[in-house]
């Protein structure tokens, strides 16, 4: 039987009565949604039948610091441009604490309104303009965004919400009746649950039995890699042997692996006790953090595991996480999940399953595996590259509806020409996800910036300008010194 090779599966949860977000706590959702406040009273319950340009009515929404006299100063800007106000409303900002948002309905020409906007930009933060009042009011009432971590340290909350295979095992688990193995698993749970961001990952003294089990898996899989694994995998595996102790008689330590990945692609790993919900697992990828188990499968069947163990993580995932392009592809799936609905998170999780877990690519005219579920499973790795496997081109719009099989080989595998192609397709797919903001990962603060207004976007543009200046300088020096 084929082992379940990922941190989550809708089929697995459904079998246990668990939902996509069964581990979410309601009080944590309040982090983004806040308490319910009265929204703007709608000017009209229905859209105006005339266009704004024909009626001469326009609207702008901007934010101000919640200080005495701030609104008076803002209204003077309208007076300076001789723009009449038909209606004005205010509410506390959901975007920035200690700010208020102002909805101003104006009477002016299109030219006058554009001049007003330019004038306002120098003094206030414009959130939107020409937004109908009924739309803005509906947005205020319906902005129910699921909680997600806004800084990397908050991943502690995500990584500690294990859905299954924590301290207890299912009755069909190979180690269910082995009391020694069960006690060993409890030890690994304690290590993972006590870990906090910023700490060194505790080093594990693996038993001779665990090392023998790892050795069997390592020996059999490394025979297949030269003819079945993608070139990026084959490039990084020797480096892991050199720097992290990947060999038949040694199980690598997560701390060494994490330091290696940080230097190669910016990814790190952290210990986790078992399965996470897709929302929690994908949130880690958004920060280039991979939740990684430390326990070893039961020794009675080294080539089978019903859940991801350290053999799967270290041999399946880690070598490709060291590749910068693959790392970026993984992170972008994670970023797309932040604040998304349960339905959209499930679609992203399915795309993750058929790419990062069971994906194929074309190299030198041949199919090669890059999915961790394949690269850590001898039987399915052979099957996926055989004539018996059904292979289709990766397309997120259709792939997201494919059933994920847990205890058997997949009915279909999806192939991409390259990681870059898969990433571009996922970027287009991510645009279809409905959420009231975009997200930007700030690598300097290791936090998420919400792009909901002009201020946030301007900050990102400033960063891009700085990067472009560096690129232009480099091109200029190439012209000077290389005669290009």
| Measured distance CA(161)–CA(190) in Å, rounded | 13
Residue 27 is a catalytic residue: no
Check if the beta carbon of residue 224 is closer than 8 Å to that of residue 378: yes
Check if the beta carbon of residue 178 is closer than 8 Å to that of residue 297: no
| Measured distance CA(198)–CA(187) in Å, rounded | 21
- Beta bridge partners of residue 180, listed in sequence order: none
| Measured distance CA(344)–CA(348) in Å, rounded | 6
Which of 317, 330, 337, 377 is flagged as catalytic? Answer: 317
Residue 376 is a catalytic residue: yes
| Measured distance CA(218)–CA(235) in Å, rounded | 17
| Measured distance CA(389)–CA(321) in Å, rounded | 26
Residue 312 is a catalytic residue: yes
- Helix or strand (DSSP H, E) at 61: strand 57-65
- Beta bridge partners of residue 100, listed in sequence order: 64, 92
Alpha helix stretches (DSSP H) within 245-377: 254-264, 278-286, 310-311, 318-321, 324-337, 342-352, 372-375
- Beta bridge partners of residue 105, listed in sequence order: 59, 87
Sign of CA dihedral 209, 214, 219, 220: positive
Residue 93 is a catalytic residue: no
Which of 312, 332, 337, 377 is flagged as catalytic? Answer: 312
Which of 137, 376, 377, 416 is flagged as catalytic? Answer: 376
| Measured distance CA(61)–CA(87) in Å, rounded | 12
* Stated length of the chain: 484
Characterise 235 by phi-psi region: left (phi > 0), alpha (psi -120 to 50), beta (else).
alpha
- Active-site residues, by number, are 312, 317, 357, 376
């Amino acid at each position: 039987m084929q082992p379940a090779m990922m941190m989550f599966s809708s089929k697995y949860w459904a079998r246990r009565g668990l939902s996509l977000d069964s581990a979410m706590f309601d009080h944590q959702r309040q982090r983004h949604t806040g308490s319910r406040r009265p929204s703007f009273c709608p000017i009209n319950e229905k859209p105006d039948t005339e266009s704004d340009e024909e009626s001469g009515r326009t609207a702008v929404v901007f934010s101000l610091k919640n200080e005495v006299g701030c609104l008076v100063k803002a209204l003077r800007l309208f007076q300076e441009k001789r723009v009449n106000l038909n209606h004005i409303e205010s509410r506390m900002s959901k975007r920035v604490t200690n700010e208020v948002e102002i909805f101003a309905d104006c009477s002016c020409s299109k030219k006058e309104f554009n001049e007003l906007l330019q004038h306002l930009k120098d003094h206030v933060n414009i959130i939107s303009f020409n937004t109908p009042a009924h739309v803005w009011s509906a947005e205020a009432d319906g902005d129910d965004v699921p909680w997600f971590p806004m800084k990397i340290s908050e991943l502690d909350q995500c990584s500690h919400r294990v859905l299954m295979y924590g301290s207890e095992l299912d009755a069909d688990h190979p180690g269910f009746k082995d009391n020694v193995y069960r006690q060993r698993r409890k030890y690994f749970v304690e290590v993972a649950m006590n870990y906090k961001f910023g700490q060194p990952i505790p080093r594990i003294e693996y038993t001779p039995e665990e090392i023998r089990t790892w050795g069997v898996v390592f020996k059999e899989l490394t025979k297949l890699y030269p003819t079945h694994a993608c070139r990026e995998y084959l490039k990084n595996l020797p480096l892991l042997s050199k720097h992290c102790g990947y060999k038949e008689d040694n199980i690598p330590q997560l701390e060494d692996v994490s330091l290696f990945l940080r230097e190669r692609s910016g990814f790190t790993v952290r210990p986790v006790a078992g399965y996470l919900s897709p929302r929690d697992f994908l949130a880690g990828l958004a920060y280039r953090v991979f939740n990684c188990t430390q326990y070893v499968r039961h020794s009675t069947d080294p080539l089978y595991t019903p859940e991801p163990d350290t053999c799967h993580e270290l041999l399946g995932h880690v070598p490709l996480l060291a590749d910068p392009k693959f790392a970026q592809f993984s992170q972008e799936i994670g970023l797309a999940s932040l604040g998304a609905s349960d339905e959209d998170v499930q679609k992203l999780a399915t795309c993750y399953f058929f790419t990062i877990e069971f994906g194929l690519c074309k190299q030198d005219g041949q199919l090669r595996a890059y999915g961790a579920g394949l690269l850590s499973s001898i039987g399915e790795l052979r099957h996926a590259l055989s004539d018996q496997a059904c292979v289709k081109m990766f397309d997120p719009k259709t792939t997201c509806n494919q059933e994920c099989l847990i205890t058997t080989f997949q009915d279909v595998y999806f192939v991409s020409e390259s990681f870059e192609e898969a990433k571009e397709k996922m970027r287009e797919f991510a645009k279809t996800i409905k959420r009231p903001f975009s997200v930007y990962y700030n690598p300097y603060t290791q936090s998420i910036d919400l792009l909901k207004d002009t201020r946030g976007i301007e900050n990102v543009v400033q960063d891009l300008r700085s990067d472009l200046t560096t690129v232009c300088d480099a091109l200029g020096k190439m012209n000077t010194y290389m005669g290009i």
